[in-house]
Structures are given as structure tokens and as C-alpha cells.
Amino acid sequence: MKYRYWCGECGYKTPWADEPAGRLAQLRHYARWHAGVVPGGHRERRHRWSDVGQGCLVLLCLALLLLAALVLAWLSGH
């Protein structure tokens, strides 16, 4: 999963990154442009299809293997 942090002061947003890298980019932005201000804003999450799709791919492969085994068992019975 990737994250993007938005500045609560000026609308700056970090590039998409893993959580520690995004948080560090936000802290660096605040240190440079808003010194002395407690970092605020919000965090946006992005689910990539590759992150979500891996579980579905495994289930699809298992279903296809089961189907192939059933077809082979049915064919060997005839």
C-alpha cells in the first residue's frame, strides 16, 4: 500500500511512497516551509490493483486446478 501526505498549511502533497518515506517527506516539508508549526494535514491511502489482486489470483489458480482434476476424473471414468 502507498501513502501520500497532504500539508495542512499550504496544500503541498508528498509523492506516493511507503508510510515511513511519506511521513519523512512531510516532516521535511514542514521543517523547510513551516518551521515551528506542528505538522498537520491528512494521509491518503492508495490500494494498487496488484496489492488487491494477488489473493484473487491464488483463488483463481486453485479453482482452475480443481476444475482440471474434476475433468480428468470424469474423463477417466468414461
User: For the segment 20-73, what is each residue's pLDDT rounded down to a tens digit?
Assistant: 999 999 999 999 999 999 999 999 998 776 555 667 888 889 999 999 999 999
Q: What is the predicted pLDDT for the residue at 28?
A: 96
Count the neighbouring beta carbons within 10 Å of the beta carbon of residue 22: 20
What tens digit of pLDDT does each residue of 3-31 get? 999 999 999 999 999 999 999 999 999 99
Clarify whether residues 33 and 57 are in a common domain.
Answer: no
Q: What is the predicted pLDDT for the residue at 52?
A: 56
| Single pTM value for the model | 0.60
Domain count within the chain: 2
Clarify whether residues 31 and 68 are in a common domain.
Answer: no
Q: What is the predicted pLDDT for the residue at 50?
A: 56
d(C-alpha 44, C-alpha 5), whole Å: 6
For 21, the domain range is 1-46
